[in-house]
Amino acid sequence: MAEPAQMDDARRRYEFRKTLEKLQAKQGSGTELISLYVPPDKQIHDVVGQLRDEFGQCANIKSKQTRTNVQSAISSILSRLKYYKNPPENGMAVFCGTIQLGGDRSDLECTIIEPPEPLNLYLYRCSSNFELEPLREMLEEKNVYGLLVLDRREAYWGFLRGNRIEPIGGVTSTVPGKQRKGGQSSVRFQRLREIAINEFYTKIGERASDIFLSEKDFFERFRGVLIGGPSPTKEEFEAGQYLHHEIQKRIIGLFDVAYTNESGLAELVDAAKDALKGMAVVKEKEIMNRFLKELVREDGLAAYGEESVRKNLDLGAVDTLILSSRLRKSRVTITCQNCGRSEERTISLEPGKTVEDILATTCRQCTAPMVVDSEVDIVEELTTLADQTSTKVEIISDDFEEGAILYTAFGGIAAMLRYRTGF
């Protein structure tokens, strides 16, 4: 069961990621889009002073349209900064400019983000797109684990970043099989075989160490390495201290796995769930496995798909609402301009498209154009319904197999029920 704080954090991460995706899709004509990063220790009046200077400098822009659009964006930012005496606790990022909507259409848009972590830079930039990299870095997992699976035939390594297993690469060995014939030659053969095994372990250790040590902010973020494989191979490898000493002392444990290729990395994470207890990927795997077990039971307390889950939410029958972090849908209410007929629809959002672009429709009753009255993100809508009945909400990443199944097989919306309803 997720704690409320963890649940809220998952929702905040979802909203933050979705906002960045929307900003990434926006394009300007020329260098008209302004990205402004204000750290928490920056004085607002200093920012205002620089923006006024930039406004004056815009007179040197040759293109009248670009000059007008940049000055409009600066004016819009200045009008919003009037409401701040000081930057928010973590600072703020402002994205403002004239966005191209397709054809000859454009619109001045301004978005202010209070980031989940303190900003450590001050930045003013004009470009044809928004500068988002400092915020994207905040989505990176801070805790990273090294993964290594091996036997005497092959080895593979990668990383565990939050919910995501990231395969990196591997090697195969030329270690010969065991000698079956006796005699003096068998002793010599065995000695050569042991030399080949040692050389293979050395190669694994050197390459894996190079990969792990090159991880960004290694000493702050790298939490340890998990080693998987058959016995006694993994024990031999650990005892031989083939890894770099900084990696060697961070070995968390040795785990039995059947596969020593890329698929063995996921098996290793499953085998190490007790050692990784508390990690998001382990919690999310447990939730999905519980749902899948309920689903296959004849009297199982499981539901999936928007329609079924929505009905169960209305009845208060949902114990845990399970949503995919990949969901990019909106619930919209559209109304006929002529006869007043209205209806609700769920639509998939496309990058760079508005609801109006996607949902151009006419009334079924009088054929007059339908207009959008309201729009809400489906994750926000369903979680609001869940909160009304004290339903737990879990937002599941698709970076592991079970999470991917939630999105591809069940449409990204599922639930575990308190009781059966027939829906």
Give the single-character DSSP code of 117.
S
Cα–Cα distance for residue pair 330/69, rounded to 1 Å: 30
Q: Is the peptide bond before 88 cis (omega within 30 degrees of 0)?
A: no
Cα–Cα distance for residue pair 280/2, rounded to 1 Å: 10
Q: Is the peptide bond before 232 cis (omega within 30 degrees of 0)?
A: yes
57 Cβ contact partners less than 8 Å away, ≥ 6 residues apart: none
> What per-residue confidence (pLDDT) applies to 351?
61
| Total-model pTM | 0.71
> What per-residue confidence (pLDDT) applies to 110?
95
pLDDT tens digit string along 151-201?
A: 999 999 999 987 788 999 999 987 666 655 555 577 776 788 888 899 999
Domains along the chain?
26-136 (3.30.960.10), 144-177+193-277 (3.30.420.60), 279-423 (3.30.1330.30)
pLDDT tens digit string along 276-305?
A: 876 777 888 889 999 999 999 988 999 999
Question: Mean per-residue pLDDT for 36-47?
Answer: 95
